[in-house]
A and B are shown apart, each in its own frame.
Chain A
Amino acid sequence: MRRRQWFIAFAGILLGVNGLLIFLDDEGEVARLSYVQDWSVIAEKDMTKTIDTPGVLTANQLPVYFDKTRGSFQKFLVEEGTTVRVGEPLYTYNVDNYAETKTDLEQKKRQLTDEIRAVEEAATSLSAHRIPEEGTNAVFEGESSNLELKDRSVETNYLKERDLAGIEMELAQKRAQLESIQMQLSELETDGETVTVASPYAGSVTELSESLDNPVVTIRGTELYAQGKLTEAERMEVEKDMPAEVTIRESDTVINGALGALADNPETLHVDRESTYSFQVTFDEQADTEDLLPGYHADVAITTAKSVDVPAVKTELMNGSSLWKMTSDGTLKKQTVKTGVVANGYAELTKGAEPGEWAAANAREQLRDGTVFITPLKLHDIEWKQLGKYDNVNWKRCILTGLLAR
């Protein structure tokens, strides 16, 4: 009996001493291994970082004014809710002072003609401005790099088209206003008393001011925008021209556009109140907005950052700023990495890892730098029906290792 107690005591002491040695092992005297239960591969992904915020479709409210000094208002020729085209008569007024009105109108006409000329010149010079093609044509192996270079000039061309489109719209408006003035002038000349003011815009009449407060007529234009609000944090991340995707909630239609107007001032400015900044998304030229009406609610996703075909790893595998890489000599390496865009549960790795490498999932205290790693067998990963696929697996070596390993 005494012998047994001695033996147990001896075993206990040995255990204690060993335990202590392991615990105090700071220099890695004791060979360890890491049991990796879960791991994942570093994939090549397109990373986009978006801000999702609600929005609503709106159209511009365009004002039509009445200059009271020109005469006395007679009557409205349209009602609230009427759709009007450019040039359609909106209201009439009696001219007070013929000569004065005529000079006024003519002056306006001159001003507008000048403005139109200036805009036309701007349009032609922009049109004539050639976007320089990217000169360097690097000879790389893959095709994707070539595509990327061309991409840049496509983007610039796109911006140019968009600016041109904006200019053209402005032009059209001014021409319409000119027409309206022209009509008033000619009517003045023929009629002498009553002048009919025509609409410089197309859209639908939303408001007629019975009390003749300016603007007397408000027309909602036909061009749709998506409007929304950004919080302070969101505002810091966005810039004009960032691409945005608008998904109409009720119909799931998706329209592409870009951030057009971005408020620099918040809606309310107060120390104790939240600052919100309004934004507008202008839709792309080819966007189909036919069946859409102002007032439709949508979800707007603004792309704030985008990286294409970059190595990315699931964020839960990140361990601070390092990754546990399962290297090709069977050891675990704690690799410091630099991250780029983080979105959708993935983090872009700008430095430190390549797609195809494996990273081990964090487990408390199980992973040690520089140690051999072992992993459990995951039977569900093997496709049993297609065992013949694995001819690149050195099965002889594996069996032999199993046979001889201690």
Chain B
Amino acid sequence: MTYKVNIIRFFFPVADSLLRVKKAETIKGLWRTSLLLILFSIGVYFGMAVLGIGTGPINDDAAALGFLGYEAGKLWFAIGRIGFAILFGLFILFVPSLIFYFITKIHYRKLLVMQQVVLAVMLIERLVWIPLATHAGLDWFASPFSFGIIAMYVTDIPWVTFFFGSASVFQLWIIWFQATFLSYLSAVKRGWIWTIVIVIHLIYWAGTATLTSFDQHLIGGWFA
């Protein structure tokens, strides 16, 4: 049978959708949904940039540039953000699916369906970050949905904070979702699948933490 991709209907209920994906022979509407998701990603990130979220590092020139220059700088930032949004969307959609393909041998297209759901959830998490920043003054790693706050009480090391800040309830759900999806569609042992998914996420969080710790040094270094 043919499975038509529909992210919203996917969740109601998850079990049914999983069954249908498993049984499907062809998947339709993948590209359209992927494109929509990329556009959604651009929308979310550009919106955040317009609100100024993430612009902290470029604010040190503010007064020196004057009002006009400052706003122009933020505009460039927003443009850079669009680039990030595209790369982010593409990465989340296609790279983990590739990795899982090599491990589980499930049809790539079906894995794409899974990653589309993952991307959608991650983008919703970013949407939640917006009011957290504008109304509660909390950056992404201090989201109350993550373990970042607890980490900040325990330690002062930024990297550790960023690492635990990346581990949010959204991420935990995604882990569960991917593990469930993969075990349902593949013959690989459940224990293995869970381990692999968790390890991949740990690497992902570590990578994020590293990038966040160093990107200011990197960028500053280039233009020092």
A residues in contact (CB < 8 Å) with B: 7, 10-11, 14-15, 17-19, 21-22, 29-35, 41, 326, 328-330, 356-358, 366, 368, 371-379, 381-383, 387, 389-390, 392-406
B137 at the interface (CB under 8 A from A): yes
Contact of A387 among B54, B62, B72, B136 (CB under 8 A): B72
CA distance A31 to B151 in the complex (A): 11
Q: A371: nearest residue on chain B (CB-CB)?
A: B137
A402 touches which of B70, B84, B146, B212 (Cβ 8 Å): B84
The smallest C-beta distance from A376 to any residue of chain B, in angstroms, reads 5
A50 to chain B, nearest CB (A): 30
B142 to A: closest C-beta gap in Å: 6
Q: Is the CB of B83 within 8 A of A402?
A: yes
Chain B residues packing against A (C-beta within 8 Å):
49-65, 67-84, 87, 133-142, 144-147, 149-150, 152-153, 161-162, 169, 172-173, 176, 208, 211-212, 215, 218-219, 222-223
Contacting residue for A358 out of B62, B176, B211, CB 8 A: B62
- Do A374 and B133 contact each other (CB < 8 Å), given the known contacts A29-B153, A390-B69, A406-B215? yes
Interface of chain B, main secondary structure = helix
Q: Is the Cβ of A404 less than 8 Å from the Cβ of B58?
A: no
Give the distance to chain A from B11, nearest Cβ to Cβ, in Å. 11
Say which residue of A15, A328, A377, A389 sits within 8 Å of B49 (CB atoms): A377
- Which residue among A22, A366, A399, A405 has the maximum number of chain B CB atoms within 10 Å of its CB? A405
Cross-chain contact of B52 among A357, A375, A383 (Cβ < 8 A): A375
**Choice from B53, B63, B83, B218 contacting A356 with Cβ under 8 Å:** B63
| Known interface pairs A31-B161, A33-B139, A35-B137; A402-B79 also in contact (CB < 8 Å) | yes
B80 touches A400 (CB 8 A): yes
Our pick among B64, B75, B162 for the contact of A377 (Cβ within 8 Å) is B75
* B53 and A374 form a contact (CB under 8 A): yes
Given contacts A326-B59, A328-B63, A402-B78, contact A30 B72 (CB under 8 A): no
Contacts of A329 in B (CB 8 A): 60
**How far apart sit A390 and B69, CA to CA, in the bound complex (Å)?**
6
Is the beta-carbon distance between A389 and B50 smaller than 8 angstroms?
Answer: no
- Bound form: Cα–Cα A31–B164 in Å: 14
State the CA gap A14–B167 with chains docked (Å). Answer: 12
- What are 14 residue pairs bridging A and B, where the CB atoms are less than 8 Å apart in the complex? A7-B173, A19-B144, A29-B152, A29-B153, A31-B141, A35-B134, A328-B63, A379-B75, A390-B68, A393-B72, A394-B73, A399-B80, A401-B215, A406-B54
Query: Given contacts A373-B56, A404-B84, A404-B211, are A379 and B71 in contact (CB under 8 A)?
Result: yes
Query: Which B residues lie within 8 Å of A379 (CB)?
Result: 71, 75
Q: Which residues of A contact B65 (CB under 8 A)?
A: 392-393
Complex formed: what's the CA distance from A146 to B210 in Å?
57
Contact across chains for A381 and B57 when beta carbons are under 8 A apart: no
Q: Are B219 and A404 in contact (CB under 8 A)?
A: yes
With contacts A399-B79, A402-B78 taken as known, whether A382 is within 8 angstroms of B72 at the C-beta atoms is yes
Report yes or no: A401 in contact with B142, Cβ–Cβ below 8 A: no
Contact A382 B71 (CB under 8 A): yes
Known: A17-B150, A35-B52, A404-B215. A381 touches B67 (CB 8 A): yes
* Closest chain A CB from B85 CB (angstroms): 10
The answer to whether B60 and A328 touch across the interface, beta carbons within 8 angstroms, is yes
| CB-CB under 8 A for A382 and B52, given A15-B145, A328-B63, A406-B212 | no
Cβ of A35: which chain B residues have Cβ within 8 Å of it? 52, 133-135, 137
Residue in B64, B87, B219 whose CB lies within 8 Å of A397 = B219
User: Contact check: which of B59, B73, B215, B223 meets A374 at CB < 8 Å?
Assistant: B59
Selected from B55, B72, B141, B161, the residue in CB contact (under 8 A) with A395 is B72
Check A14–B63 contact: CB distance below 8 A. no
Contacts of B82 in A (CB 8 A): 402
A21 lies within 8 A of B218 (CB): no
- Which residues of A are found within 8 Å of B147, using beta-carbon distances? 14
